[in-house]
Copies of this chain bind each other. A is one copy, B any other.
Amino acid sequence: MQDTFSFSNIQQAADRLKGKVVRTPILESSMLDQTAGCRVLVKAESLQRTGAFKYRGALNKLLSLTPEVRQRGVVAFSSGNHGHAVAAAAAYVGCSAVIVLPKDAAAIKIENCRWWGAEIVLYDPDTEDREEVGRRVAGPRGMLVVPPFDDYDIIAGQGTAGLELAEQLAEEGIRPDAFVVPCSGGGLASGAVTAMKQAYPDLPCFFVEPAGLEKMAPSVREGTPRKRPPGPPTVMDGLSGPVAGTRTSRILRECAATGLSVSDDEVLDAMSTAFRYLKLVLEPAGAATLAAVLKRKADFEGKSVAVICSGGNVDPSVFIRALHAS
């Protein structure tokens, strides 16, 4: 594996993914702008295949493998969008995939992985170690583990969302004043910030985490990857992974990105706002950037703010809760 990461990795990923992923649209709403007090440019990655940006990184990884490695198949540990994306990408490139899920994962998430033909292995999170389960299943078959974020091919793939965004803004003649991206392990955030900084070197870039569960903000501040602090459960399941990445936190630190945080209530309200003004189904993690912009009106007032809304895989019950809350 290479030891450095640069914008050229993202360009290579974009060439590899061309025509194979959705060039998701930039959406705007005058009514949203008035509510936010700034011009909000929404990159709707909820409209990506599998309903989230994760497909970009997974497919880039699988397309980068040698035929020999690919033929042995891949493994992913996930209870969310990453597993779904790896299963779909494996189906696309025609290799086998094993997805290791906790036995209490939502039925819909297990079904999604199975739908694409992946082999599902359930483990008991109380008594088993998932890495150990993965090694037991995949080791004898020589299968490659596809990491969820702290991998340059994954970062480059997710970064193509930022590259597209920069291209689309240029096509429309828009110069952004700020960029806001959601962040858990940091694959999307580090890749997309790298791409946006390439196009706009002085652009202020922000990453958004669940309030009280910030792990990337201290990692970037202190220069060392941190675990998620103990905290209450959050509706933002897509942003509550256990740890920030080593590579991703280093990239975000080098890019001088700044952490923001949002609460569950703010995110549910943003989901309702996206329903009303953008006609988008967003999952809580997917609405976190919008929530951050709506929350910090003074900071963004009068500016053009580009945000990535990262996914739309949400249970109807949670979506109904968001619509009732507003």
Show the binding face of A for B, using Cβ within 8 Å. Answer: 19, 22-25, 27, 29-31, 34, 44, 46-47, 49, 51, 88, 115-116, 172, 272, 275, 278-282, 312-313, 316, 319-320, 323-324, 326
Contacts and interface: CB of A to CB of B under 8 A. Distances in A.
Contact of A275 (B29, B116, B281, B326): B281
A319 B312 contact: no
A23 B168 CA distance: 12
Contact of A316 (B116, B275, B278): B275
A319 B51 contact: no
A51 B279 contact: yes
Contacts of A282: 279
Copies of this chain present: 2
23 contacts: A19-B172, A22-B25, A23-B25, A25-B25, A30-B88, A30-B116, A31-B115, A34-B115, A44-B47, A47-B278, A51-B279, A272-B316, A275-B319, A279-B280, A279-B282, A279-B312, A279-B313, A316-B323, A316-B324, A316-B326, A320-B320, A320-B323, A320-B324
Given A275-B281, A279-B47, A22 B31 contact: no
- Give the residue among A30, A115, A281 with the most B Cβ atoms within 10 A: A281
